[in-house]
Amino acid sequence: MPRSIEFREAIREAMCEEMRRDARVFLLGEEVAQYQGAYKVSRGMLKEFGPRRVIDAPISENGFSGLGIGAAMYGLRPIIEFMSWSFSLVAADQILNNAPKMLYMSGGQFPIPIVFRGNGGAGGQLGSTHSWCVESMYANVPGLKMAIPFDAYDAKGLLKTAIRDDNPVFVLESERLLSVKGEVPEGDYLVPFGEAAIRRQGTDCTIVSFGRPLYFCLEAAESLAAEGIECEVIDGRTVRPLDIETISRSVARTNYCVVVDESWPFASIGAELAAQIHVLNFDDLDNHVVRVQADDVPAPYAYNLEQEMLPNARKICEAVRAVTYAA
């Protein structure tokens, strides 16, 4: 039966279940063992699995990412935890230039079954250098997959799918969601990649997003419903592979679309989505696709400025009113 557990507990369950199922799976990262995780995601795992499978790494993302890739080439299935995806930038050569390309460059000899996971995005007053939304930059690289869970159910199911995948998978979690509870069934289940979820049905406008901004989309949809505008809210779930078919079918019904993306606007996931929707739904759209994204500035430290910089329900409502000519 479903239970209500925290997002972080769902991540832990996914890792523990897969480590019990497959002895090749191990966890490597900063503070994952003795300290039980910087955000307590790996609480209790060292005690159960021991120091050979839950391994504390030095503050050297480039080093332990490369170690994980080497282990994957040897036949193991590493989970590499970044305390923050902002810190993954110093490992870019390993995670973007090596992991996604090794299968291709080795002529199919070396699959890289590795998961890179950790906290991404802004919203926690961590300053500009600790508030990266890396999805736009990283999703540009062929050879990797990327999942962005919205709730505890998907956090577990997507991560389990990622661990079993034979390709490099980037799982981007939001620090702001770690304590959010949701219904999660006990035992084994998978959430398939490339299948978007319709979180709210509607007829007047399609809103598409990933991860934490979905909560703002649903809040905006409820507010707009009181005005007589019924929005369909779609959770993309995975950026690579992207379920553009579900999104396109929704836009064909509603004739309007707003894309909500926490990334900066230039060359972003939101820009790619808008481009694909314009191509696929050119004859269906009664207005151009409108994007709601982070402002094109470094993330401020001040709470009020940071919140204003990010997508929020007010901005989404304004975008929907404008695109549907209800403003």
**pLDDT tens track, the chain, 327 positions:** 668 999 999 999 999 999 999 999 999 999 999 999 999 999 999 999 999 999 999 999 999 999 999 999 999 999 999 999 999 999 999 999 999 999 999 999 999 999 999 998 887 888 898 889 999 999 999 999 999 999 999 999 999 999 999 999 999 999 899 999 999 999 999 999 999 999 999 999 999 999 999 999 999 999 999 999 999 999 999 999 999 999 999 999 999 999 999 999 999 999 999 999 999 999 999 999 999 999 999 999 999 999 999 999 999 999 999 999 876
Q: 290 in helix, strand or coil?
A: strand
Please indicate, yes or no, if residue 39 is contained in any of the structural domains: yes
Domain range for residue 6? 2-185
Residues 219 and 159 occupy one common structural domain = no
Distances (CA, A) of 32 to 181, 256, 267: 22, 45, 34
The span from the first CA to the last CA of the chain, in angstroms, equals 45
Residues 27 and 109 occupy one common structural domain = yes
Residue pointed to by tokens 């998907």: 154
Task: Examine the residue annotation and report whether 130 is marked as an active-site residue of this protein.
Answer: yes
Q: Which of 81, 130, 173, 306 is catalytic?
A: 130
Residues 268 and 180 occupy one common structural domain = no
CATH number at residue 227: 3.40.50.920
Task: Examine the residue annotation and report whether 61 is marked as an active-site residue of this protein.
Answer: yes
For strands 257-261 and 169-174, give the pairing.
unpaired
Residues 242 and 178 occupy one common structural domain = no
Q: Exposed e or buried b for every residue in 290-323, given b needs 16+ CB within 10 A?
A: bbbbbeeeebbeeeeebeebbbbbebbbebbbeb
Cα 299 from chain centre: 19
Asked if 72 and 102 touch (Cβ cutoff 8 Å), the reply is no
Q: Which of 9, 17, 18, 61 is catalytic?
A: 61
